Homo-oligomer: A and B are copies of this chain.
Amino acid sequence: MSRIEDAQWAEPLNALLRAWAQTAAARDKAGGTAFHERRLLRDSGLLRLSVPEQYGGDGADWSTTLDVVRRMAQVDSSLAHLFAFHHLQLATIRLFGNDAQIRRWHTGTIEQRWFWGNALNPLDKSTRALPDAAGSYLFDGRKSFCSGARDSDQLLASAFDADGRLLIGVTPTTRAGITVLDDWDNMGQRQTDSGTVVFDRVPIAGDELLLQPGPLSSPFASLRPLLAQSILCHVYLGIGEGALQAARDATLAQTRPWIASSAGRPADDPYVLAHYGDHWVALEGARALVERAMHAFDRAWQRGLALTESERGEVAVAVATSKVAAARAGLDVAHRMFEVTGARSTTAALRLDRFWRNVRVHTLHDPIDYKVRELGDWALNGRIPKPSFYS
């Protein structure tokens, strides 16, 4: 996880993180859309990070791109999520679309400096795809959990046709009939703008639909959910790391150990050290698993359409393993950090509870219990996870 330092975008990234950090607590309180910080992100050039060099991007591999996500999440897990989902939309086009589509939207992303938003939630079946002219559709209905749709330039949107088939289309966010509501107000991940997009008979042309080869059409195309899950891993891990750093600052700032402690300072208290040791082991374990999963993912990505079902299955196992570990570590650190920071660290001015609220909300994306079950089925029965939008 160390290739970042040498990259040309290392300093823009660090500048961005410093800027975000200054306002992270205040923006957590305010919620809403982080227009200014999104602009800083656009200006940083990092929106082209994963775009292949042939289209003018930086061509970073996924290990690198998601390592940037992790670093962002240490500081601001909402913005990390939006950055990651921008790249996920582009990856989706590469996995589900044809060459012309890939070229069109990647070139546009570089030339027009597009920021992509998400209106894809396949669990929400209330948006329908009504047949229009030959091969075209009208998308109609409401879509929930549309992270990053606000202030976006392009959207990936999904709808179900009369046969229950999932159709994924691409559209400028400004197209007539699209209304992006400002209705996200959540206990955590407060600036992901994961609200509702309303589609009022929005025309989607045939060449805007990702039909060739189409969603989950091959083991390679089925890497898409694994990329989405890997993003979650990095956000969870980043939150845990950010929480530990914040806890450390708070503990080291304390001067008076508990009255019953034999230590001269809180940072030498045996129980304080035990908590930090536990957190270190948990986070380091998650880091090792995430790193391992990403190496497998990058190798699988490079295999392209030659990727087999069982190869994809092993990547799925590695990603799921790292996700469970990262979720548990992030949750545990954010939950228990206060046992070493003391009562005064709970002042609303610090908003240290945001780490917990963020990881608590984000780990509900899909149930950890069922990821564990999937891994049990692998460990016991040797069954690889069946590809879906969550596995």
Chain A residues with CB under 8 Å of chain B are 31, 123, 145, 185-188, 190, 244, 248, 251-252, 258-262, 267-268, 270-281, 284-286, 288-289, 291-292, 321, 324-325, 331, 335, 338-339, 342-343, 346-349, 351-353, 356-357, 360-361, 364-381, 388, 390
Contacts and interface: CB of A to CB of B under 8 A. Distances in A.
B379 A244 contact: yes
B360 A353 contact: yes
A248 B292 contact: no
Contacts of A348: 31, 185-187, 190
Chain A interface main SS type: helix
Contact of A376 (B186, B261, B273, B365): B273
Contact of A277 (B252, B292, B351, B375): B375
Nearest to A271: B369
Given A284-B289, A285-B325, A356-B356, A380 B267 contact: yes
Given A342-B364, A380-B248, A347 B186 contact: yes
Given A343-B364, A348-B187, A370 B289 contact: no
A142 to B, nearest CB: 14
B376 A274 contact: yes
Given A343-B364, A353-B357, A274 B373 contact: yes
A385 to B, nearest CB: 10
Given A260-B373, A373-B260, A274 B271 contact: yes
Given A288-B285, A288-B292, A373-B274, A339 B368 contact: yes
A376 B346 contact: no
The number of times this chain is found in the oligomer is 4
24 contacts: A187-B348, A187-B351, A188-B353, A190-B348, A244-B379, A251-B380, A261-B370, A262-B270, A267-B380, A271-B367, A271-B373, A272-B376, A274-B369, A276-B375, A276-B377, A276-B379, A278-B376, A280-B375, A280-B376, A281-B324, A285-B325, A335-B360, A343-B361, A353-B360
A248 to B, nearest CB: 6
A65 to B, nearest CB: 21
A375 B277 CA distance: 5
Contacts of A351: 187
Contact of A343 (B356, B365, B368): B365
Given A273-B373, A339-B367, 17 more contacts: A145-B343, A185-B349, A244-B379, A262-B262, A267-B380, A274-B274, A274-B369, A277-B373, A277-B375, A277-B377, A278-B372, A288-B288, A335-B335, A342-B364, A353-B353, A353-B360, A356-B356
Contact of A280 (B270, B285, B321, B346): B321
A280 B376 CA distance: 7
A388 B260 CA distance: 10
Given A346-B364, A357-B353, A277 B335 contact: no
